[in-house]
Amino acid sequence: MDILRFITAGNVDDGKSTLIGRLLYDTKQIFADQLEAIESSGRVNEDGQVDLSLLTDGLKAEREQGITIDVAYKYFSTEKRKFIIADAPGHIQYTRNMVTGASNSNLSIILVDARKGVQEQTRRHSIISSLLGIPHLVICINKMDLVGYDEQVYNQIVEDYKQFARKLQAKDVTFIPVSALKGDNIVEGSELTMPWYQGPSLLEHLEQVPVSQDFNLDDSRFPVQYVIRPLTAEHQDYRGYAGKVISGTYKAGDKVTVQPSGQMTTVKFVELGGKELEEAFAPMSVVLQLEDEVDISRGDVIVKAADGLEAAQEFEAEICWMHNKALKPGAKLLLRHNSTETRCVVRHIEYKIDINTLDHLEDVDQVQLNDICRVQIKTASPLLLDKYADNRSNGGFILVDETSFATVGAGMVAEIEY
């Protein structure tokens, strides 16, 4: 059994909450007391059924306004997988919340209303999913019951979407006709209502989509989080480097380089909780012991000698701005990348990305809340970065305000200058 993390973005109107409610309900993840709490609220949908969307809207303000504001995490599991749902809002003014939810997801469910077809919101959610490097997209054409389960309608929407998706870097796109309200193709199939559809139901698809290869196992990256030095009689000379293999693999005998100093040594021992491991691979948290006594501290990265990683201070990135106060060129911020923090300056705004069309808007003099822009950044100390497209776990960073310490932006490395 493994884990699939997926995001659903959308508004109440799309039936997103109904879809999640349906997944939880039909996989029997909703407990009687939770259902009772919904029933006692008295909200039912037009069919007189319990309003499943109430399961997902957690905060008082959200229930009052009937919208999702923040990302909510939901969990369910089947025999095959544990699922973690990042339930994100769909409106453009909550783009930052969707970006947040998308950052950790392997799959994105995008809802299309069968009556309306591909809309601005469909495009926006697809573009954000693509920018955040989500490897798998599922396009659920919802409310099929309201178009008479018509195959022609479905096919037309699939065609329209494919047309648009050419400009995305989506590797794996799947289409499923569903009715979240009626439960068609969510957990069960749709033999009665849509015999023309031969593919899997949404849950079947979620259970079988391959995710193990989504981890980058080629480029070894081990950012040191903490140095273990017990200094006890029993462990007099013990030095263990604690961290997470964010990509690649490590085993005893591997020749490694410690960056940014460039010192070379060999992995002596790989362990976790005192037990030796034959090999550590992403995303394991382990301890590495090295053959030589080298000077290593938090923020250094241990890399296999064959997998080069060079330090850089200047790079270009796509950033999503997450704060009310606009970002202007010349702004100084803190930048956190894995276990490293440094100061940085945003030197230039190259262009803004229209997230409804992917068009580039030039001559932008500031970055507003929810904007996604390409910028040039220079850091005070060197960073050990990968391009986000090459290595998702080593190409993302966050921007932090120097005085309030709020997280004000998220960035994805696009081009690095060595």
Least distance from another protein to the Cβ atom of residue 353, Å: 18
Tokens of 114: 């069968």
Least distance from another protein to the Cβ atom of residue 203, Å: 17
In this structure, the dihedral spanned by the alpha carbons of residues 353, 354, 356 and 359, taken in order and rounded to 10 degrees, is: -80
Least distance from another protein to the Cβ atom of residue 197, Å: 30
Which of 271, 355, 283, 357 is closest to 318 using CA atoms?
Answer: 355
Least distance from another protein to the Cβ atom of residue 163, Å: 31
Which of 101/260 has CB closer to another protein?
101
Which of 223/260 has CB closer to another protein?
223
Which of 112/209 has CB closer to another protein?
209
Which of 132/157 has CB closer to another protein?
132
Q: State the DSSP string of 145-172.
A: GGGTT-HHHHHHHHHHHHHHHTTS--SE
Least distance from another protein to the Cβ atom of residue 55, Å: 8
Which of 42/46 has CB closer to another protein?
42
Beta bridge partners of 346: 377
Tokens of 291: 């053959």
Which of 75/196 has CB closer to another protein?
75
Residue 20 per-residue DSSP state? H
At residue 180, the 3 state secondary structure works out as coil
Least distance from another protein to the Cβ atom of residue 141, Å: 28
Least distance from another protein to the Cβ atom of residue 268, Å: 15
Which of 86/110 has CB closer to another protein?
86
CA torsion sign, 32 to 35 to 37 to 42?
negative
What's the Rg (C-alpha) of the chain? Answer: 24
Which of 274/330 has CB closer to another protein?
274
Query: Distance between CA 17 and CA 14 in Å, rounded?
Result: 8
Least distance from another protein to the Cβ atom of residue 119, Å: 26
Which of 17/193 has CB closer to another protein?
17
What residues contact residue 159 under an 8 Å CB cut-off, 6+ apart? Answer: none
Least distance from another protein to the Cβ atom of residue 14, Å: 20
Q: State the DSSP string of 357-401.
A: T--EE-----B-TT-EEEEEEEEEEEE----TTT-GGGSEEEEE-
The amino acid present at 19, given as its one-letter code, is L
Query: Distance between CA 18 and CA 109 in Å, rounded?
Result: 13
Strands 136-142 and 107-113: parallel
Query: Distance between CA 125 and CA 355 in Å, rounded?
Result: 8
Which of 80/347 has CB closer to another protein?
80
Least distance from another protein to the Cβ atom of residue 137, Å: 19
In SS3 terms, 44-102 reads as ECCCCCECHHHHCCCCHHHHHHCCCCCCEEEEEECCCEEEEEEEEECCHHHHHHHHHHH
Which of 57/219 has CB closer to another protein?
57
Q: Is 33 exposed, middle or buried (0-12, 13-18, 19+ CB in 10 A)?
A: exposed
Tokens of 187: 């957990």
Least distance from another protein to the Cβ atom of residue 382, Å: 18
What residues contact residue 49 under an 8 Å CB cut-off, 6+ apart? Answer: 181
